[in-house]
Homo-oligomer: A and B are copies of this chain.
Amino acid sequence: MSDSTVLVLGSDPPPKLDRLTGRARVRFTDEASLASRLPSADVLLVWDFTSDVVRRAWPEHGPRPRWVHTASAGVDRVLGPALIADDTVVTNARGIYEQPIAEYVAGLVIAMAKDFHGSWELQRQRRWQHRETLRLAGTRAVVVGSGPIGRAIGNTLKALGVAVELVGRRERTADPEFGRVHPTEALHGLLGPADWVICAAPLTGTTRGLFGRAEFARMKPTARFVNVGRGPLVVEEDLVAALRGWRIAAAALDVFEREPLPADSPLWDVPHLIVSPHMSGDTQGWRTALAEQFQDNFDRWAAGQPLRNVVDKRLGYVPVR
């Protein structure tokens, strides 16, 4: 395997891949050169996972990498029809982002319950204005996404005394963590009583536009919505209409249809909408952890062992168990 070529998409900052020294040729490529360099690569590491060039540039014929690893949890920007159809193995960064994202969502939920935003605005104005806020314990959340990220969010909210209903692609009635996992078709019925609706689903053909006008209409006026999955899971204009029409109380988006969010996007100043730049899972040391994770899998690949975090390319994510 010492003559294998690992092609890395993205070079700023380049990952430290010390453990590949002497075992593989490591080459870096940008978006423009990817297509021409894929045929000579054995492994593709999608380090810049904000790019969707792999989806567009994957060849339908000829030599190509046998293994693609993306340093992200979601694989929607990697998986195009050609890659889905062939026998190249795709792996992802499962295990890196779960706990940070769960912490981030818990923080957003508490921040909205306790009106931190209001307090910080009042602080700017030097105004002492006491308010009564929401007690989190005893409230109800619906978490959409029954993979490791949704589960970490659900468990963290449960630890804070929130009653959690987990929604996944298909129903499970004896789930070891949550007892029951509801199927996506049950979502509408679950939205009514929810104080918190958290979207942490993978972006697939089925989940695109999962939250739109009909879903926001089913939420109660005091409900708050959070999206840490992928932007296109939400019909942004419907969310804006729901917020402007006071049909729901507040929302927080960490992901967007278009990223980076352009400076002239109307989303920046919708009332009661918290915007953050796709960073919920990115904690200090994450790049090192991602590089280590890839190299661990490279060790397995070099030894001919089965890879970890293998994506079911038809489903669009790594199935849980």
Residues of A with Cβ closer than 8 Å to B?
99-100, 103-104, 106-108, 110-111, 113-114, 116-117, 119-120, 122-123, 126-137, 156, 159-161, 259-261, 263-265, 268-269, 274-280, 282-286
Which of B111, B127, B261, B283 sits near A132, CB closer than 8 Å?
Answer: B283
Closest 7 CB pairs of A and B: A107-B110, A159-B159, A128-B260, A135-B283, A126-B268, A119-B276, A128-B277
Cross-chain contact A161 with B99 (CB below 8 angstroms) = yes
A106 to B105, CA, bound (A): 12
Interfacial chain B residues near A122, Cβ < 8 Å:
277
Interfacial chain B residues near A283, Cβ < 8 Å:
132-135
Give me 14 other A-B pairs in contact (C-beta within 8 A), A104-B133, A123-B275, A131-B279 excluded: A103-B113, A103-B135, A106-B106, A107-B116, A108-B116, A110-B110, A119-B279, A128-B261, A131-B282, A132-B279, A135-B284, A135-B285, A156-B159, A159-B160
A105 to chain B, nearest CB (A): 9
Interfacial chain B residues near A127, Cβ < 8 Å:
263
A269 to B120, CA, bound (A): 11
Interfacial chain B residues near A279, Cβ < 8 Å:
119, 130-133
Known: A104-B114, A122-B277, A128-B260. A99 touches B135 (CB 8 A): yes
Known: A113-B103, A132-B286. A123 touches B160 (CB 8 A): no
A285 to B138, CA, bound (A): 13
Cross-chain contact A110 with B116 (CB below 8 angstroms) = no
A200 to chain B, nearest CB (A): 16
A36 to chain B, nearest CB (A): 29
Cross-chain contact B119 with A110 (CB below 8 angstroms) = no
Cross-chain contact B110 with A106 (CB below 8 angstroms) = yes
Interfacial chain B residues near A114, Cβ < 8 Å:
103-104, 107, 280
Interfacial chain B residues near A133, Cβ < 8 Å:
100, 104, 279, 282-284
Interfacial chain B residues near A282, Cβ < 8 Å:
130-133
A114 to B265, CA, bound (A): 24
A11 to B269, CA, bound (A): 40
Question: What is the chain B residue whose CB lies nearest that of A135?
Answer: B283
A247 to chain B, nearest CB (A): 21
Question: What is the chain B residue whose CB lies nearest that of A122?
Answer: B277
A125 to chain B, nearest CB (A): 9
Cross-chain contact A160 with B110 (CB below 8 angstroms) = no
Cross-chain contact B274 with A120 (CB below 8 angstroms) = yes
Interfacial chain B residues near A275, Cβ < 8 Å:
119, 123
Cross-chain contact A134 with B268 (CB below 8 angstroms) = no
Known: A160-B159, A268-B123. A132 touches B277 (CB 8 A): no
Query: Could you pull out 13 A-B pairs where Cβ atoms are within 8 angstroms?
Result: A103-B114, A103-B135, A104-B110, A114-B280, A119-B274, A132-B279, A132-B283, A134-B283, A134-B284, A135-B284, A156-B160, A159-B159, A159-B160
Known: A111-B116, A114-B107. A132 touches B268 (CB 8 A): no
